[in-house]
Amino acid sequence: MAALNEEQVMLRDMAREWADNESPIAAFRKLRDAGGGKGYDPEAWSAIGGMGWAGIVIPEEFGGSAFGYLSLGLVLEQLGRNLAATPLASTAVAASAIAMGSSDKARSEWLPRLASGEATATLAIDEGPGHDMKIAATVSGGKLSGTKKFVAEGDGADVFVVAAADGLYLVPKGEGVTVASRRMADSRSHAEVTFSDAPAEKLGDKALTQAVADRAAAVTAAEMLGMAESAFGQTLDYLKQRVQFGQVLSTFQALQHRMAKMLTELELMRSAVEGALEAIDAGRSDVDQAVSLAKAVANDTLRLVSREMVQLHGGVGMTDEFDAGLFLKRAAVLEAMWGNASYHRDRFGRLNGY
């Protein structure tokens, strides 16, 4: 855990308690089985708005708390532990993009509503199945056209922060915007969003687009950290109670060493993720490198832990009734989102001139 201040410790503990009690994995399972809708529980989202989490990276003058990205990461980590389905990550990062952007109108119109949780927002950047920052969408005469694939929380979003070839734009749901759901393995909201001459307001140039994508990758890594810790903890608990060959599984050295290896990787993951969030808050010039490190390490580690969770639970791990599959499927989606490990390793190499 990074060196947290008193506010951050309180925030983390509160998020942990809320997620454990009010939004446990069972709640996500129920939501999944119900299907359809916006992809999240409106009551849970309303509670999140009331607690101020949607405003953590929004300036105080617009109704936020400006606690910063490390604080947002702490909350998302706790939600990730419980696979909580909320549009918090997408709304917070989109709001942060609006706050960083140059449009006073967008700021005053949208930020207070996003901070309170009254509205949700999301990023619409990628145009293909992977994250490569190749962007073809165009803007002409204040109208944006293009198709964005796999927009997270796209089903319920009130406003989109959209990447065009020349920079970042704000497009409200409505005129010229078509949302088509894409049902995916993680049972969360993903949509293909088509913009046809949709009224768009410019927020910033391509540098802002990249900065926003980096923030999205960093908070995704924070959610992945929570998932990895939770998957690891559940696996450890299982090994401590499951008896085979007349022995508790946790007494077998072969299994002990696999768990020790995972714990080691989790330590590195936490450092890399918190390092990226702190770099963003400090406004450091190497945020790009810190983010690529965090996402690559997060991808590798969550992949290891989520796959081992299934394997070490044996047949139980293969059943839908048990939670391992939920972790496995969400992990795979988050690995692909905002850049897989290869993308970030390659980028890290380029940034360092290797």
Partner 1 sequence: MATAADLDRPADSLDDFRKEARAWLEANFDPALKGHDNAMSAVDGPTAETPAQKKWREAMGDKGWGVPTWPTEYGGGGLSRAEARVLQEEMARIGAWNPIGGMGVMMFGPTLLEYGSEEQKQAHIPGIVRGEVRWCQGYSEPGAGSDLASLQTFAEDKGDHYLVNGQKTWTSGGQWADKCFALVRTDKSQKHAGISFLLIDMESEGVETRPIRLISGASPFCETFFTNVKVPKGNLVGREGQGWEIGTRLLQHERNSLSGGSGSAARMNAGNTVPEIAKKYRGTDAEGRLADADLRTRIIRHEMDQRAFALTLRRAALEAKGNAGPSAATSVMKNVGARITQDRAELNVEIMGMQGLGWEGEGFSREELEQTRTWLWGKAVSIYGGSSEIQNNVIAKRILGMLDHQ
Is residue 298 classed as helix, strand or coil in its secondary structure? helix
Q: Is 311 in the site for partner 1 (CB under 8 A)?
A: no
Figure out which of the listed residues 93, 164, 221, 239 binds partner 1, where binding follows CB under 8 A. Answer: 239
Figure out which of the listed residues 100, 236, 333, 336 binds partner 1, where binding follows CB under 8 A. Answer: 236
Using alpha carbons, list the distances in angstroms from residue 257 to 110, 230, 250, 254.
Answer: 51, 19, 10, 5
Task: Give 199: exposed, middle or buried? Use CB within 10 Å, 0-12, 13-18, 19+.
Answer: middle
Cα–Cα distance, 86 to 189 (Å, whole number): 10
Figure out which of the listed residues 251, 314, 318, 319 binds partner 1, where binding follows CB under 8 A. Answer: 251
Between 179 and 255, name the residue whose CB sits nearer to partner 1: 255
Q: How many residues does the chain have?
A: 354
**By rule CB under 8 A, what string of x and - marks binding of each residue 330-349 to partner 1?**
---------------xx-xx
Figure out which of the listed residues 46, 196, 264, 319 binds partner 1, where binding follows CB under 8 A. Answer: 264
Please choose, out of 63-71, 92-100, 207-215, 261-269, the segment that lies near partner 1 by the rule CB under 8 A. 261-269
Cα–Cα distance, 97 to 116 (Å, whole number): 17
Q: Is 13 in the site for partner 1 (CB under 8 A)?
A: no
The answer to whether 118 and 58 have CB atoms below 8 angstroms apart is no
Q: Is 275 in the site for partner 1 (CB under 8 A)?
A: yes
Minimum CB–partner distance for residue 69 and partner 1 (Å): 16
Cα–Cα distance, 354 to 349 (Å, whole number): 5
Of 314, 318, 339, nearest to 327 by C-alpha is 318
Q: Is 309 in the site for partner 1 (CB under 8 A)?
A: no
Minimum CB–partner distance for residue 9 and partner 1 (Å): 13
Minimum CB–partner distance for residue 260 and partner 1 (Å): 4
- The CA angle 43-224-95, to the nearest 5 degrees, is 55
Tokens of 129: 């199945």
The answer to whether 258 and 321 have CB atoms below 8 angstroms apart is no
Minimum CB–partner distance for residue 167 and partner 1 (Å): 26
Q: Is 1 in the site for partner 1 (CB under 8 A)?
A: yes
Figure out which of the listed residues 102, 116, 194, 250 binds partner 1, where binding follows CB under 8 A. Answer: 250
Q: Is 7 in the site for partner 1 (CB under 8 A)?
A: no
Figure out which of the listed residues 9, 260, 282, 318 binds partner 1, where binding follows CB under 8 A. Answer: 260
Between 10 and 260, name the residue whose CB sits nearer to partner 1: 260
Q: Is 247 in the site for partner 1 (CB under 8 A)?
A: yes
Figure out which of the listed residues 30, 134, 182, 240 binds partner 1, where binding follows CB under 8 A. Answer: 240
Q: Is 282 in the site for partner 1 (CB under 8 A)?
A: no
* Binding to partner 1 in span 172-211, by CB under 8 A: none
Q: Is 272 in the site for partner 1 (CB under 8 A)?
A: yes
Q: What are phi and psi of 83, to 5 degrees?
A: 50, 35
Tell me the Cα Rg of the chain: 20
Going by C-beta distance under 8 Å and a sequence separation of 6 or more, which residues neighbour residue 150? Answer: 126, 129, 182, 184, 190, 191, 192, 337
Tokens of 329: 């499927």
The residues binding partner 1 (CB under 8 A) are 1-3, 236, 239-240, 247-248, 250-253, 255-257, 259-261, 263-264, 267-272, 274-275, 293, 296-297, 345-346, 348-350, 352-354
